[in-house]
Structure 1
Amino acid sequence: MASLASRSLLRSSIRARYSYTCPHCRHYASPSTPPAPPLLLRIRADLKTAMQQKDKTRLAVVRALLADVMNAAKTSSPIQTDMQLLSLLRKRVAAAQTAKAEFAGAGRQDLVEQEEQQAKVLQEYAGGVETLGADSVRDAVQRVVEEGKAALEAGAKAANMGDVLKKLLGVGGSLEGKNVERSEVARIVKQMMGQTP
């Protein structure tokens, strides 16, 4: 009986000693998903902190945000940047303001205060995202619009708003990859294009 166990142990040690994997056959794993945005990492860390400090308001907000991020991950447009997360935060702040107004109309002061506290936490997170200033965006838009004017004088077709946005936000654009709200860029482009003939 003991010899049977010792033989099987001996065989397994021999196999382990002589197992060899060709270096060309080895496969190394690489992360297929991009790294999480810094604000999302902060929110995940705050979940643990809020649990330890028993901060119910912050804990409720953080859990709701993480649930929204998880739900978005299952769609075709997951949250991968701070700007997408900022958009989500602004939607949640707007929803909190709407709920606050409804609770005030119903005379529920306790729920009004709760929504105010949640809105403060959401605005604190939204304030943590640094975006490009309106002046920098305006300068970039002005340069692209002037390039379009010069091309128009050279005989090219007139650039429309979509072309300008593509030059700004597309691959190789001056605002590509920068923390800037697309709606703000579109508003400035529309304003500048309205000034051009």
Structure 2
Amino acid sequence: MLSRTLFTRPLTRAARTCAFYTTEAAPATPQLLLRIKADVKDAMRSKDKERLAVVKGILSDLTYLEKSPQAPAQVTDSVIQVLIQKSIKRRQESVLSFTDAGRPDQAQQERKEIEMLKVYLPQAMTPQEIEDEVRRVVKEQGATGSKDMGKVMKELGSLDPAKAPKKDVSDMVKKVLASL
């Protein structure tokens, strides 16, 4: 009887590279990130150094966030907007520091950067809109006092933090529950 021997050939280059492709779809790139990257290109073309520095700062903060241990599973528009809000808050603190130190030129520069960053944020909810939403949830949950704050906050977790910052919502919940 003749026995067959199997000869194994090394994988071809094409076969080796195909082994790394997956059938899973890559997560969609957030629209805000695409807009920011386009603004970087526009700022470079127009040689607007101030705007370029601000927009590159956003991308830098985003890269830092992605590499940190507290990184979200997926970067969304909302995550980017919260990151921009934090950047605005840092600049507002800088404005106060520069004003106290007698540096109005630096404070003015920080104000200009704040205005450049606000372009990327959605229209924030007014305090009245937040209060209306809180009152609706309090009524739905049947909350009677401050002991129900966790229940109300859990229900309000669906609010976009870019439109209604968590601190503002929390303060409003405390106010509404205290008035009951």
With the length of structure 1 as denominator, give the TM-score of the two structures.
0.63
| Structure 1, gaps ≥5 residues long | 1-25, 153-157
Alpha-carbon distance between aligned partners in 1 of 2:81 and 2:173, rounded to the nearest angstrom: 21
> Aligned to 2:50, what secondary structure does the other structure show?
helix
> Which residue is 2:154 aligned to?
166
Alpha-carbon distance between aligned partners in 2 of 1:27 and 1:77, rounded to the nearest angstrom: 24
CA contact (8 A) 2:95 2:107 kept: yes
1:88 and 2:83 are equivalent in the alignment: yes
CA contact (8 A) 2:78 2:162 kept: no
Alpha-carbon distance between aligned partners in 1 of 2:71 and 2:97, rounded to the nearest angstrom: 31
Distance 1:161 1:88, change over 3 A: same
Alpha-carbon distance between aligned partners in 1 of 2:82 and 2:162, rounded to the nearest angstrom: 15
Alpha-carbon distance between aligned partners in 1 of 2:45 and 2:140, rounded to the nearest angstrom: 56
Distance 1:36 1:189, change over 3 A: farther
> Which residue is 1:69 aligned to?
62
Question: Percent of pairs identical after alignment?
Answer: 34
Q: Which amino acid aligns with 1:183?
A: K
> Which residue is 1:17 aligned to?
none
- Per-residue deviation, 1:102: 4.3
CA contact (8 A) 1:83 1:181 kept: no
- Per-residue deviation, 1:183: 1.9
| Structure 2, gaps ≥5 residues long | 1-20
Distance 1:112 1:130, change over 3 A: closer
Q: Deviations over 1:47-89 (max 9, x none)?
A: 0000000000000001111000010011223473444333332
Distance 1:55 1:73, change over 3 A: same
- Per-residue deviation, 1:160: 1.4
Alpha-carbon distance between aligned partners in 2 of 1:38 and 1:59, rounded to the nearest angstrom: 19
With the length of structure 2 as denominator, give the TM-score of the two structures.
0.68
> Aligned to 1:30, what secondary structure does the other structure show?
coil
Q: Which amino acid aligns with 2:168?
A: E
> Which residue is 1:118 aligned to?
113
Bigger radius of gyration:
1
Alpha-carbon distance between aligned partners in 2 of 1:116 and 1:182, rounded to the nearest angstrom: 24
CA RMSD of aligned residues (A): 3.4
Report runs of 4+ in structure 1 exceeding 6 Å deviation.
none
> Which residue is 1:16 aligned to?
none
**Count of residues paired in the alignment:** 159
Which stretch of structure 1 is more off in the superposition, 176-185 or 186-195?
A: 176-185
Alpha-carbon distance between aligned partners in 2 of 1:178 and 1:89, rounded to the nearest angstrom: 9
